[in-house]
Chains A and B, each alone.
Chain A
Amino acid sequence: MIPHPETRRVLTPFILPTVVLLPLLAGGLYFVWPLVPGGVQRVLISLVAVIAFAAGNAAYLVWLERKVCAHIQRRIGPKEVGPFGLIQPVVDGIKLMSKQLLIPKGVDKPLFMVAPLLVLVPAIMSFVTIPFSEDLVARNINVGLLMIFAFASVNVLGLLLGGWGSNNKYAVIAAARAVSQNVAYEIPMLITVITMVMVTHTLNLNEIVIQQDGSFWNWYLFRFSASPLMPVAFLIFFICSLAETNRAPFDLGEAESELVAGFHTEYSGMGFGVFFMGEYANIVIGSSLAVILFLGGWQSPVSFLADGFWWFLLKMYFLIFCVMWIRWTYPRTTLWGLLNLSWKVLIPLSLINLLLTSFMVKVWPLLMGAS
């Protein structure tokens, strides 16, 4: 098959790097690698693996999303490029990369350029502490949970700067929405996480998973001895992670029927692509955290099956599928509806859960001990 001239024109700049530079790089690495100290080797491998995982997920979750939504909507979805359209994300990526990066007149250029990175980089950084299995973790940090939330709160800054720097009224409205939404949803989410930390006594994600060893009734989702409201806590966490990642039905920041494309209205090419990758990376992070905190991470649901990273991925992708399922089923809420849900329902519920858990964890054993 002879590619279309346009396709050839687009692909030409990629030929030199792939044909010449990649082998050079690989050859160079082959000789240099043994000279690199072991610690640095590990860091480099982790770095590459984390970035590859995040980027690969972002690309293929788009494919999955298109397939899922197509089947929900009585369509087939991408099918032309490769079997089941599996090459589609690659082609999309090439398209996005070869597009002109348009910087409109009157934008605040530094903010405009840095905003997409502020969304993507913290999301990729968060992958560093995610334990896919007991050993498969880039860096096992004692304050992993804290680190992820620290990075997650940078995300909103990217949306705000992107909207603000765009010099577009729709983008500014969207940025303002995204900020109030993120502020409103970080509170119940963090209260739930604090509750979890009270139960787990640790911020180390590895240890949290190890504590849920055994069968599925040992998962924190069903740890009723710690708090009878554990499933509610999981729901709160899940809803909040939807809102944190600007996913439907809380996608007010990019409500396309109201605000054209929200905060990324003025972004083209990879500017938009990086925002998009950041969004999907954040979904992966949110789902992974839910799996680690509530669904037992890499632990198998029944004790006679072997534990392993496949369980982690299975649970994570199931949650991601749920996220997509929700997106293609529900209409969008309004900003008021969203804030009401957070301040009037989720925050009181998570506070009740916090009180109940602290009672169960701290006071109940004392009472039992005294009697």
Chain B
Amino acid sequence: MSDFALSQTKETFVLNLGPQHPATHGVLRVKLEMDGEYIVHAEPILGYIHRMHEKMGENRTWAQFMPNTARLDYLGALSYNHGYALAVERAASIEVPERAEYIRVITVELNRIASHLLWFGAYVLDLGGMTPIFYAFDDREQILNLLESVTGARLTFCYFRFGGVYNDIDDSFIAGSREFIKRLRKQMPDYHNLVTKNIIMIKRLKDIGPISPEMVRKYGATGPVMRGSGINYDVRKNEPYSVYPEFDFDIPVYDECDSMARYMVRMDEIEQSMRIIEQALDKLPEGPVMTEKVPKNLKPPKGDYYSAVEAARGVFGCRVVSDGTNTAYRLKLRSPTFSNLSLFGEACQGMLLADALAFMGSLDLVIPEIDR
């Protein structure tokens, strides 16, 4: 296909996909050089929603930066809370009570399901199927209601604190979570029957947007994009943090390297997250949700600290450099989608426009996280 695209005519035109385009889900601009409907060259252009979060981190106190983390990936905000909290806790050597760790895992996994559900709906919407997004949103709404009841927010959570979480969960949250899992277990077969097994879906996703494991390594892609290319790596398993080692769950890995593989990874991750939540709810210990020894004016000792978590879109890394004051000397956020998007330019050469958009959707881009 690509030979055909590149050899035919030399007459190309430039198509600006974005920054305002329904398929980019945000202000991403992709400069496409097209030969008819074939893409000869693609260049993602970033920076339309850059807000200097890393610089803000140098001017705000450690605790003040926590709300910023939710503005990165607003669909899976709790993972970003978690990543930042872990890094600072490591820097200041703060212990987290066990109950808080469990609550963190439960809420983060709920948030991951919400993120994947939204992606599922929006992805099928990208492919022209307008109905699944309403079903997915309906389910996601239940999660948002649950999370709202404990965190006070529906989207941009600021729930985690250094040394625990800000609010304990109550019985209604636990009952609600169990009910939600029951509900979603009932829904998933419907989703698979209606969407996954749909012949048009299969035709549009199979062998579209191949990403070789070499390319994944070259660009540092992580998360479902990497696991869809047959690389078995998940921070929760490979470098466990929090209380993840105590749970029994699998990391879905598919070797097909195409959009279908990435789709399946995310759908299977929803199931695995449900397993984790169930186990965590069963094992939930009693106790405080916040350490008492955390100083109001936190001043971690001098040093360079890094911690990574598995967010819904891949590895979120947070590097903090402390010079012993109440603000960070340097804060570096490694966002997964930035790396995942970088391979788009190379991977979509010779692709048809429609396929390229199916491929772009399978990367699960959240633009504010790319432009931090």
Chain A 311-333 per-residue mask, 1 if CB under 8 angstroms from chain B, else 0: 00000000000000000111111
Q: Are A328 and B130 in contact (CB under 8 A)?
A: yes
For A75, A170, A176, A330, the residue with the greatest tally of chain B CB atoms inside 10 Å of its CB is A330
A107 interfacial by beta-carbon distance below 8 Å: no
Chain B 184-201 per-residue mask, 1 if CB under 8 angstroms from chain A, else 0: 000000000011001011
- Determine, out of B40-48, B86-94, B119-127, B335-343, the stretch whose residues face the partner at the interface: B119-127
Contact-residue bracket for chain B? 20 to 34
A344 interfacial by beta-carbon distance below 8 Å: no
With contacts A256-B22, A258-B23 taken as known, whether A69 is within 8 angstroms of B200 at the C-beta atoms is: no
Chain B 124-136 per-residue mask, 1 if CB under 8 angstroms from chain A, else 0: 1111111100110
When the two chains form the complex, which single residue of A169, A176, A252, A336 contacts B13, counting CB atoms closer than 8 Å? A169
B354 interfacial by beta-carbon distance below 8 Å: yes
Q: Are A73 and B130 in contact (CB under 8 A)?
A: yes
Contact-residue bracket for chain A? 20 to 34
Q: Are A257 and B128 in contact (CB under 8 A)?
A: yes
Q: Are A255 and B135 in contact (CB under 8 A)?
A: no
Q: Are A257 and B138 in contact (CB under 8 A)?
A: no
Q: How far is the CA of A331 from the CA of B124 in the complex (A)?
A: 7
Q: Are B201 and A173 in contact (CB under 8 A)?
A: no
Q: Are A173 and B353 in contact (CB under 8 A)?
A: yes
B347 interfacial by beta-carbon distance below 8 Å: no
Closest A residue by C-beta to B205: A331
When the two chains form the complex, which single residue of A72, A257, A333 contacts B203, counting CB atoms closer than 8 Å? A333
Q: Which residues of B contact A329 (CB under 8 A)?
A: 129, 131, 194
With contacts A74-B138, A330-B198, A337-B204 taken as known, whether A257 is within 8 angstroms of B37 at the C-beta atoms is: no
Shortest distance between the CB of A196 and any CB in chain B (Å): 28
Q: How far is the CA of A262 from the CA of B32 in the complex (A)?
A: 17
When the two chains form the complex, which single residue of B15, B127, B135 contacts A332, counting CB atoms closer than 8 Å? B127
Q: Which residues of B contact A177 (CB under 8 A)?
A: 37
Q: Are B127 and A75 in contact (CB under 8 A)?
A: no
Q: Are B37 and A173 in contact (CB under 8 A)?
A: yes
Q: How far is the CA of A117 from the CA of B263 in the complex (A)?
A: 43
Interface on A for B, CB 8 Å cutoff? 69, 72-75, 169-170, 173, 176-177, 248-249, 251-252, 255-258, 260, 328-337
Query: 22 A-B residue contacts at CB 8 Å?
Result: A72-B131, A73-B130, A75-B134, A177-B37, A249-B128, A255-B128, A257-B22, A257-B127, A258-B23, A258-B353, A328-B130, A328-B131, A330-B200, A331-B128, A331-B129, A331-B198, A331-B201, A332-B129, A333-B200, A334-B204, A334-B352, A334-B354
